[in-house]
């Protein structure tokens, strides 16, 4: 009986031990099989992709190659999300093929972002520098040409703001921030474009006479060439007087006009400088002129008379208005302002030069501009 009982005790402990042992063995075998056969996540590719994305960020690929960089980030996150989804599945049913596909795409996009970033940055730099030159040219134009125009305050302000934006952009460029530099450049361009449009509108009507001016100065140069003589051409917009000899430019001068210089002369006392083809009819010196020396021109000529009378008939001028006269090229200039009553002023030294070269009958042609409006604006 005792023996029997002892046999029984030994039996169930042994059985328990055997059962546990079998369970553990089955578990280990099954686990080993599953580990060897189940699909594994692409850990190395993720690490590699992180490295490439980090490098791309350091070269600012997110700025200079944003499409590729954003695509790489999106694919990376999609791969990570898919990995998490697969992890939640029962281990034997996991499939990381989609994860591998996404992370490989992310790697390719990140590599492309890296390689194209430098190229794009250089290309942006070149484009920026070209645009800066164009804008500087426009600003030089403003300074050289339009500064004399009776521009509205907001037009001048827009040019100056445009100039400051350009400088802000160059400051950013110097720090390597091409995107900010380009942004400021575009702000400057916008300001200057607004100013140009206003100048264009202001001058468009004035430049409707451009064809006539072109013909006038071409004819004057031809005359100078044919007669082997001097001729003087005045460009009002540029505030310049050009001395030609035998059809070739000999010298240029800064000149000053009447306050209302823009546009033709209409009547006596309007402070406007006339436009047209004239000639020297008298040379004044030794006290003949109150302005040191002067060359009197034949304003008004026949054309001026015809225009004046036509305007009077149309009622565009008052009945009492007179055509005016005594338009000279004279000294006492260099004041830096448009101060005359309609005459053309130079410095005394310059009028001496002109006086010694021009003779009675020398052509004097006064035009609004020798360049078209679009040439001036561009």
Taking CB under 8 A as the criterion, the residue among 179, 334, 357, 377 binding other proteins is 334
Residue closer to other proteins by CB (options 171, 226) is: 171
Q: Are 269 and 284 in contact (CB under 8 A)?
A: no
Q: How far apart are CA 7 and CA 10, in angstroms?
A: 5
Q: How far apart are CA 56 and CA 26, in angstroms?
A: 49
Residue closer to other proteins by CB (options 223, 347) is: 347
Does residue number 326 form part of the binding site for other proteins (CB under 8 A)? no
Q: Are 308 and 300 in contact (CB under 8 A)?
A: yes
Q: Which of positions 145-174 make contact with other proteins (CB under 8 A)?
A: 147-148, 153, 156-157, 159-161, 163-164, 167-168, 170-172
Q: Nearest CA to 166 among 121, 158, 151?
A: 158
Does residue number 85 form part of the binding site for other proteins (CB under 8 A)? no
Q: Nearest CA to 290 among 324, 328, 261?
A: 328
Q: Which residue has the tokens 């939640």?
A: 88
**What share of residues in the chain are helix, strand, coil (percent, to 5)?**
60, 10, 25
- Which part of the chain contacts other proteins (CB under 8 A), choosing from 49-57, 123-131, 313-321, 362-370? 49-57
- Which part of the chain contacts other proteins (CB under 8 A), choosing from 19-27, 222-230, 240-248, 312-320? 19-27
Query: Contact letters (x/-) for other proteins, 215-234, by CB under 8 A?
Result: --------------------
Q: Are 110 and 52 in contact (CB under 8 A)?
A: yes
- Which part of the chain contacts other proteins (CB under 8 A), choosing from 105-113, 220-228, 301-309, 334-342? 334-342
Does residue number 337 form part of the binding site for other proteins (CB under 8 A)? yes
Does residue number 66 form part of the binding site for other proteins (CB under 8 A)? no
3-state secondary structure 258-300: ECCCCCCCCCCCCCCCCCEEEEEEEEECCCCCCCCCEEEECCC
What's the chain's length in residues? 378
Q: Is 95 helix (H, G, I), strand (E, B) or coil?
A: coil
Residue closer to other proteins by CB (options 287, 336) is: 336
Q: Interface residues with other proteins (CB under 8 A)?
A: 12, 15-16, 19-20, 23, 31, 35, 40-41, 43, 46-47, 50, 53-54, 57-58, 76, 80, 83-84, 86-87, 91, 94, 143, 147-148, 153, 156-157, 159-161, 163-164, 167-168, 170-172, 180, 254, 334-337
């Amino acid at each position: 009986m005792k023996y029997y009982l002892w046999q029984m005790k030994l039996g169930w402990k042994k059985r328990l031990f055997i059962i546990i042992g079998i369970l553990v063995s089955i578990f280990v075998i099954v686990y080993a099989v599953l580990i060897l056969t189940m699909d594994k996540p692409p850990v190395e590719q993720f690490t590699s992709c992180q490295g490439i994305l980090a490098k791309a960020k350091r070269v600012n690929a997110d700025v200079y190659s944003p499409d590729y960089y954003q695509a790489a980030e999106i694919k990376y996150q999609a791969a990570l999300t898919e990995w998490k989804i697969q992890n939640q599945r029962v281990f034997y049913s996991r499939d990381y093929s989609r994860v591998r596909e996404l992370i490989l795409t992310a790697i390719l996009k990140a590599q492309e972002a890296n390689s194209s970033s430098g190229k794009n940055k250089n290309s942006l730099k070149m484009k920026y520098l070209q645009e800066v030159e164009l804008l500087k040219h426009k600003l030089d134009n403003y300074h050289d040409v339009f500064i004399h125009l009776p521009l509205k305050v907001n037009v001048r302000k827009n040019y100056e703001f445009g100039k400051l934006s350009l400088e802000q952009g160059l400051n950013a460029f110097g720090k390597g921030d091409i995107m900010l530099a380009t942004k400021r450049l575009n702000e400057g361009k916008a300001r200057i474009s607004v100013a140009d449009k206003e100048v264009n509108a202001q001058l468009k009507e004035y430049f409707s006479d451009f064809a006539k001016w072109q013909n006038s100065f071409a004819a004057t140069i031809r005359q100078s060439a044919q007669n082997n003589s001097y001729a003087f051409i005045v460009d009002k917009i540029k505030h310049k007087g050009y001395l030609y000899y035998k059809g070739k430019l000999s010298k240029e001068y800064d000149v000053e006009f009447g306050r209302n210089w823009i546009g033709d002369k209409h009547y006596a006392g309007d402070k406007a400088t006339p436009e047209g083809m004239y000639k020297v009819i008298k040379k004044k010196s030794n006290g003949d002129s109150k302005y040191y020396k002067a060359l009197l021109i034949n304003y008004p000529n026949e054309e001026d008379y015809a225009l004046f009378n036509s305007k009077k008939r149309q009622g565009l001028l008052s009945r009492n208005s007179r055509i005016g006269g005594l338009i000279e090229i004279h000294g006492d200039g260099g004041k830096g302002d448009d101060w005359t009553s309609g005459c053309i002023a130079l410095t005394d030294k310059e009028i001496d030069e002109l006086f010694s070269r021009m003779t009675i009958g020398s052509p004097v042609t006064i035009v609004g501009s020798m360049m078209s409006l679009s040439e001036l604006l561009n």
